[in-house]
A and B are shown apart, each in its own frame.
Chain A
Amino acid sequence: MATLEELGEAYAEWRGRSNGNPRLTKMVRGWDRVIQFRTTDNGLGFSMRVENQQLSELDTGPIEECDVVVTGTSEDFCDMFWGDLNPSEKYMSGEITLQGSQEDVMRIDAISMVAFLDA
């Protein structure tokens, strides 16, 4: 199980790569969303915002409304934020589940893919 600190560190890496990627910032133009992550193994919940083509810092406080809910293990989220895990594969095998529109789900997957394309 990954701790909240580990997840925060991993997310910071993801955020840094995403916000510094010109192609990705173009891809999320006009796509302002709130995404909640929930872990199945240790009951954590945290959220991120995409606003003005930038990913926000990780918010560990409770939220009432969001556009997409992503549910998976803390380890999978950690690996995904580090770019070591392909979330699509976990999604296609049912280990990561989502709630939200297909288009929003596509954008999240796009972030996870494009952020690490040049690495």
Chain B
Amino acid sequence: MTDAAASLAPRASLRRALGLRTVVTTSTGLAFAALEYLAAAGLVTYVAGDSAYIPIIVAGALALLAYGFFGELNGMFPTAAAVRLYMQRAMDDRVALTITFTYMSTIVLVIASDAFIVGSALAHAFGEPAWVAAIWIVGLLAVAVVCNLRGITVAGLLQDLATSVVVLATLAIGLLALVRSGHGLHTPFAPLHGHSAGDLFEAIALGVFLYSAFEWVTTSAEEVRKPESIQRGMLIAIGILCVVCCVATVAMSHTLTHHELTSAYPQLYLGVAAIGHSGLWVMAAVTAVTALNTFNGGFITASRFIYGTAREGSLPRQLALLNDRAVPWVPVVILGTVSAVVALVVAVTHAWEVLVAVGAALEGMIYAVAGVCAVRLRRRQPDTVRPFRVPALAVLGPIGIVLFGLLALTASVSVDDKFNPAPLVIIVLAGVLSALYVLKVLPGMRAKEAARRAARPRRRPGRPVSEDPLGP
């Protein structure tokens, strides 16, 4: 080997790398949180009869558009830090940071809602009073925090198994419920019967939420055996989600009452409709398994992102503190605590539909932002290698941006088929707090950090460091 070598040294192959199967199950599992059941049941109330599959298929087509945006961006930046990189290069860094911090609140929402739904479902299955759900919620999150602090993560094979169980059980229960109901579908082709076009639009927004988080698998881009597995895996995951959600929602609309649909555990009623009382236990177990993926993926993704951002100097340094197992313990504890508070507030106020609407609006927003980034980077970085390109982005890009923007706006002002600005207020509040931090706090923090680094003597002897040396 010589210093004058013109090309890169040969890359050794990775001992442990993710294959397509794990990418598919990761993408599907991240999207298929327990909140999926509530969103599916919520969607049913916006359309007539058994036509809930229609907005899900339309939402699937929109998810394909989002898949295109994320596929192109991830191909350009195949790294866990991709969201920072493509936003930073496509827009002003302060705007990018504000959006990123607001988006990160989705992860807290999903963790909190899963804790709430699993806690409520278990309390109901065991025949316990509703307040016992609070104990389940705190207990589940405490276990998740302790496991994370001890560096325990769900291995690829277990994750594959957990997602397969959730998806297949939901599909089977949905089909059995339909078969056992013994009568034909009601108005399967007339979603607007007794509903407005606005309702259908809202149903599509919730439908998009059913696919949401499939794109989080892009944070595994550094772990895959073949880079193209990420794009393929996301595509397969969208297909799986479309089929399972169509079956589950049609089965729900066909067999559940309005009271059951608007409960915190419609999936348990679906289980009962499919196979009787044992179905309740099957779906309670399935709901608990969804939390395995959510807690594992959610805590790791969010805490590592917070750690990276703190190490980068965009968040307080305390958030980069590591425990003896190299786990960023401060973000993990904060995530667990905030999630517990949100879940308990939801349990007390029964406002889970607001949570679903906030999640749907935030996902619509981030898909629109991904579209903006993909379009702008085509202009700003035309020569960057793109292993995956969205065809006709000049047309599809603006269409996607407008559609996702409108869906986000619609979802943010409607809860349970009624006008309700609560989700919008929550999102605006989160956005304003993020913006205040980025505009008012961050500049001072960065200036202090720069002064600290400038005051520290260089360790490298002999020659100057390459550029703006940044101490650890």
Q: Which residues of A contact B (CB under 8 A)?
A: 1, 3-4, 10, 13, 23, 26-28, 31, 34, 36, 38-40, 42-45, 47, 60, 62-69, 71, 73, 75-76, 78-79, 82-89, 91-94, 97-103, 105-107, 109-110, 112-117, 119
Contacts and interface: CB of A to CB of B under 8 A. Distances in A.
A43 to B, nearest CB: 3
Contact of B15 (A67, A88, A117): A67
B383 interface: no
A23 B220 CA distance: 29
B11 A38 contact: yes
Nearest to A75: B466
Given A82-B460, A88-B308, A45 B10 contact: yes
Contacts of B466: 73, 75-76, 78-79, 85
Contact of B458 (A67, A84, A94, A113): A84
B315 to A, nearest CB: 11
Given A73-B466, A75-B466, A102 B80 contact: yes
Interface in B103-148: none
A69 B15 contact: no
A48 B307 CA distance: 25
B455 interface: no
Interface string B64-89: 00000000000001011100110010
Interface string B1-12: 101111111111
Nearest to A117: B472
B421 interface: no
A88 B15 CA distance: 23
Interface string B304-333: 100111011100000010101111100000
Contacts of B12: 34, 36, 47, 62-66, 69
A83 B459 contact: yes
Chain A interface mostly helix, strand, loop or mixed? mixed
Contact of B325 (A3, A27, A43, A67): A27
B469 interface: yes
A38 B8 contact: yes
B10 A85 contact: no
B8 A100 contact: no
Interface of B: 1, 3-16, 77, 79-81, 84-85, 88, 151, 153, 219-220, 222-223, 300, 304, 307-309, 311-313, 320, 322, 324-328, 458-460, 465-467, 469-472
Contacts of B307: 106
Chain B interface mostly helix, strand, loop or mixed? loop
A28 B88 CA distance: 33
Contacts of A103: 151, 153, 326
A71 B7 CA distance: 13
A112 B472 CA distance: 7
A88 B312 contact: yes
B304 A106 contact: yes
Contacts of A42: 3-5
Contact of A84 (B80, B309, B471): B471
7 contacts: A1-B3, A38-B8, A68-B14, A82-B458, A82-B460, A82-B465, A99-B222
Contacts of B309: 92
Nearest to A1: B3
A119 B311 contact: no
Contacts of A68: 14
Contacts of B304: 102, 106
Given A85-B465, A110-B322, A71 B8 contact: yes
Closest 5 CB pairs of A and B: A45-B9, A43-B5, A88-B311, A75-B466, A82-B460
A9 to B, nearest CB: 9
A38 B80 contact: no
Task: With a 10 A CB-CB cut-off, give which of B81, B153, B325 has the most chain A CB atoms.
Answer: B325
